[in-house]
Amino acid sequence: MNEFAFIDAIKQHAYKQPSVMKGIGDDAAVFRQPSQDIITAVDTFVEDVHFSRSTMTPFQIGYRSLAANISDLSAMGASPAFYLVSVVIPQSWRDEELIRLYKGMAELAMAYHMDLIGGDTVSGKALSLSITVIGYVNRDKARYRSTAKSGDIVFVTGTLGDSAAGFHMLNNPNDYKDQAYYYRRHRMPTMRNDFASGLELLPRITLNDISDGIASEANEIAEASNVSLTIYEEKIPVSENFYQFSKEQQYKWKLYGGEDFELLGTVPKDGWDSLKEVADRTSTPVTEIGVVTEDRNQGHHVALVDRNHTKKQLEKKGYTHRSG
């Protein structure tokens, strides 16, 4: 059974609570209270599956894990408010290391005015960190991935592939350019909450955070919105010295690398200027990379146009070697 079939088997298909506005199926769940909508999400990180102490300090592991959760809130347009942390602790972790793990979260939480309001610590064989985040967004302003429409501009924030490049550099020491930059992008990513919250006045905008790679996220928007997306490979923004990696690495990392925690979105053309203003105000690099199309005959899919103007379908997963 693949992940999607499994989730489909375990998810509810109708909700009983009248206050639920979005359950499973987006970056986070939404339920309503009278003044603001409340956003909540949970993510779990397991040692030697999602992170390794050989490439990150406990502080960085904590920081990055909470960052991944905050990124989910930003993809909903929400402001972070609270977090709860549950840790499974093996004997191989010393108390001091665990405390630094929590300090890594606390440092990031401080920057976002978040409070740690709960949690659990239990013993087990492998360190696993489960974080629940809760945030607020003004009523009806949660940003879903299901709202893209034909003609929308497709955009991303920041540069893509840096986290995967940093991970590669940590595991394959060599004489790289901008090593510290890539390390930081992998270990202590920047989130785009100010930008996402700033977009509140736009009547419609679709947002997804790039945790699994743009190929995966673009397909999620296409499926949820029942549209197709065309993305131009040349327009995908990469960092200044990204060219130092092989063409194959560049292709793989920028499309499938993930964990950059940048935002992929779609916005109506007449919202583009307002979006750019918010981007300027929040110092957020934003790049137009494609367009939303209606493609009812062929179903919803994502097309990638390469520099030779060749168009091919960009699959959700399953990176395969390019021919040439």
Residue closer to its own copies, measured from CB, 102 or 242: 102
Residue closer to its own copies, measured from CB, 13 or 309: 13
Residue 301 annotated as lining a ligand binding site: no
Tokens standing for residue 215: 């190929």
Cβ 56 vs Cβ 187: under 8 Å: yes
Give the DSSP per-residue string, 202-238. SS--EEEE-SS-HHHHHHHHHHHHT-EEEEEGGGS--
Query: Cα-Cα-Cα-Cα dihedral of 105, 110, 116, 121, to 10°?
Result: 20
Tokens standing for residue 91: 């004997």
Rounded Cα distance, 188 and 103, in Å:
13
Query: C-beta of 147: minimal distance to its own copies in Å?
Result: 20
Residue 211 annotated as lining a ligand binding site: yes
Rounded Cα distance, 208 and 242, in Å:
24
Query: C-beta of 119: minimal distance to its own copies in Å?
Result: 6
Residues that bind its own copies (CB under 8 A): 1, 3, 6-7, 9-12, 15-17, 19-20, 22-24, 28-29, 31, 33-36, 38, 40-46, 49-50, 81-82, 84-88, 95, 98-99, 102, 106, 113-126, 128, 130, 132, 134
Residue 25 annotated as lining a ligand binding site: no
5 Ramachandran zone, left/alpha/beta (phi>0; psi -120 to 50): alpha
Rounded Cα distance, 47 and 307, in Å:
39
Residue 136 annotated as lining a ligand binding site: no
Query: C-beta of 109: minimal distance to its own copies in Å?
Result: 8
Residue closer to its own copies, measured from CB, 116 or 291: 116
Query: C-beta of 12: minimal distance to its own copies in Å?
Result: 5
Residue closer to its own copies, measured from CB, 7 or 269: 7
User: 65: helix, coil or strand?
Assistant: helix
Helices and strands, number each (H, E), in the chain: 9, 13
Query: C-beta of 143: minimal distance to its own copies in Å?
Result: 16
Residue 72 annotated as lining a ligand binding site: yes
Residue closer to its own copies, measured from CB, 11 or 281: 11
Residue closer to its own copies, measured from CB, 14 or 201: 14
CB contact burial 266-305 (16+ within 10 A = b; e otherwise): bbbeebbebbeebbeebebebbbbbbbbebeeeebbbbbb
Residue 26 annotated as lining a ligand binding site: no
Query: C-beta of 16: minimal distance to its own copies in Å?
Result: 5
User: 274: helix, coil or strand?
Assistant: helix
Residue 233 annotated as lining a ligand binding site: no
Residue closer to its own copies, measured from CB, 106 or 202: 106
User: Of the candidates 300, 312, 201, 297, which has an alpha carbon nearest to the alpha carbon of residue 255?
Assistant: 312
Query: C-beta of 210: minimal distance to its own copies in Å?
Result: 17
Residues of each annotated binding site for substrate: 50, 259, 319
Give the annotated binding-site residues: 27, 43, 50, 72, 102, 119-120, 145, 209, 211-212, 259, 319
Annotated binding site for ATP: 102, 119-120, 145, 211
